[in-house]
Structure 1
Amino acid sequence: MDIGYIRVSTVEQKTARQLEGVKLDKTYEDKCSGKDTNRPELNNMLNNLRKGDTVHVHDISRMARNISDLLDLVKSITAQGVTIRFHKEALTFTSNQNDPMQKLMLTMLGAVYEFEKDMMLERQREGIAIAKAAGKYKGRKPSVDRDKVIELLKGGMSIRKVAAQMGIANSTVQLIKKEAQQ
């Protein structure tokens, strides 16, 4: 079977450009970060691969954003007798192929993608620090009305009932209660 693996980092992002024009029998699509391999559709795909299948991926960064996960995934997939093909980089890996040049290219390109991600995060941290210093960055708006939680607790309502009424976890109510007591 020809199997496609598509990943975007957020729910808002579109997947249309990935593997466009590639004939696939089945597609697995994740809308989450590639920072680790804990992704539902990736794990679903890995569990359903069969010897002789070919996994198609638009580019290396869609499979993994760090070099160790990338190398582990390629090794794990090919060890099952499955071929993995990265279209953008024109790299193909199989279990019976031991091409040192392709392994070098995979490692180098994976490292470039990891570096790119790290640099983006560093620029983001720097921007946030500058915005905070200028008083322009306030962080995320609170998603819980803390005053309402405290009011309900002071009114004698239990932690569980407050959590149920507010639609939040018991641990969140406990945290707010603890912060209010300090």
Structure 2
Amino acid sequence: MQTFLYARVSTTDQNIIHQQAQAEAAGYVFDEVIHDDGVSGVSTRLQDRKGGSLLLNKLRKGDTLVVRWVDRLGRNYEDVTETIRTLMGRGVVVRTIINGMTFDGSTTDPIQKAVRDALIGFMAATAQAQAEATKEAQKAGIKSALESKDAATKYRGRKPTFTEEQFKQAEEMLSMGRTPSAISKELHIPRATVYRIKDDPVKMAAVLQAWS
């Protein structure tokens, strides 16, 4: 039985170091780390990614798969739920770093199965809704900001103290109810920055876009 970490980052200028550090801080020890760099989770299925395909070929009954959150595993509600259930059907235990969830197909108690399946659906739906809402809001906000006459001075400002990956992680953690102080400590960004992301994510996304 082996334990795998699967990490995915969306752009080529990001890296998997933070996701691995998060997992190790949570107490996990891995036999192997598999990752996909510069791959969108919104448009690409797990099995269609180079690292994802390798992962699926390696996983065996009794293995444990660790991911930062369920959105690493699929594009949308249907994709995430199908992937987790397929893995459970193969005897693989799926664990998430955020919220410390465990999805184990060996559960036989009907009540525990119902709770487990409800959690899978809820988390998958939350991941999709968050991704869609954030994408649309940022698209509209950034377009408006960058088209304004004073965009260069009003929105560029000082260079951001956070990366795109940290921005996405902060938004995700905020949606999970984590406090700005805890997020600041975990992501190594100023607490004031986390509050600004919480209060006006569109503007903060525009700042990143202006500096990209």
Classify the TM-score, shorter chain. Answer: 0.5 to 0.7
Give 1 or 2: higher helix fraction: 2
Report the counterpart of residue 7 of structure 2 in structure 1.
6
In structure 1, the residue matched to 2:29 is: 23
Identity, in percent, stands at 27
Structure 2 counterpart of 1:33: 40
Select which of 62, 86, 95 maps to 1:52.
62
Superposition map of 1:1-182 within 5 A = 1-18=2-19, 19-21=23-25, 22-31=28-37, 32-35=39-42, 36-37=44-45, 38-97=48-107, 99-127=113-141, 129-130=143-144, 134=148
* Offset from partner CA, 1:86-133 (integer Å, 9 cap, x none): 121222122222521122122112211211111122123313553576
Q: Counterparts of 1:59 and 1:133 in 2: how far apart (Å)?
A: 35
Helix, strand or coil: the match of 2:124? helix
Deviations 1:28-72 (A, max 9, x none): 111111113121101110012111111111212222241111111
Please, which runs of 5 or more residues in structure 1 have no aligned partner?
138-182
- TM-score of the aligned structures, taking structure 1 as reference length: 0.66
- Unaligned 5+ runs, structure 2: 152-212
Which amino acid is the alignment partner of residue 30 of structure 2? L
TM-score (norm 2): 0.58
Q: Whole-Å Cα distance in 2 between the matches of residues 58 and 132 of structure 1?
A: 32
- Between 93-102 and 81-90, report the one with greater CA deviation: 93-102
Change (3 A) 1:132 1:3: closer
Distance 1:20 1:91 in 2: 16
RMSD: 2.2
Equivalent residue for 1:168? none
Partner Cα separation in structure 1 for residue 105 and residue 134 of structure 2: 34
How many residues are paired up? Answer: 137
- SS of 1:52's equivalent in the other structure is coil
**SS of residue matched to 1:28:** strand
* Distance (Å, rounded) in 1 between the aligned partners of 2:78 and 2:150: 37
Give the Cα separation in 1 of the matches to 2:71 and 2:24. 17
Report the residue type matching 1:84 in the other structure: V
SS at match of 1:20: helix
Residues 99-108 or 42-51, more deviating: 99-108
Segments of 4+ moved more than 3 angstroms:
131-137
1:123-179 per-position Cα deviation (integer Å, ceiling 9, x unaligned): 233135535765799xxxxxxxxxxxxxxxxxxxxxxxxxxxxxxxxxxxxxxxxxx
The structure having more radius of gyration, on CA atoms, is: 1
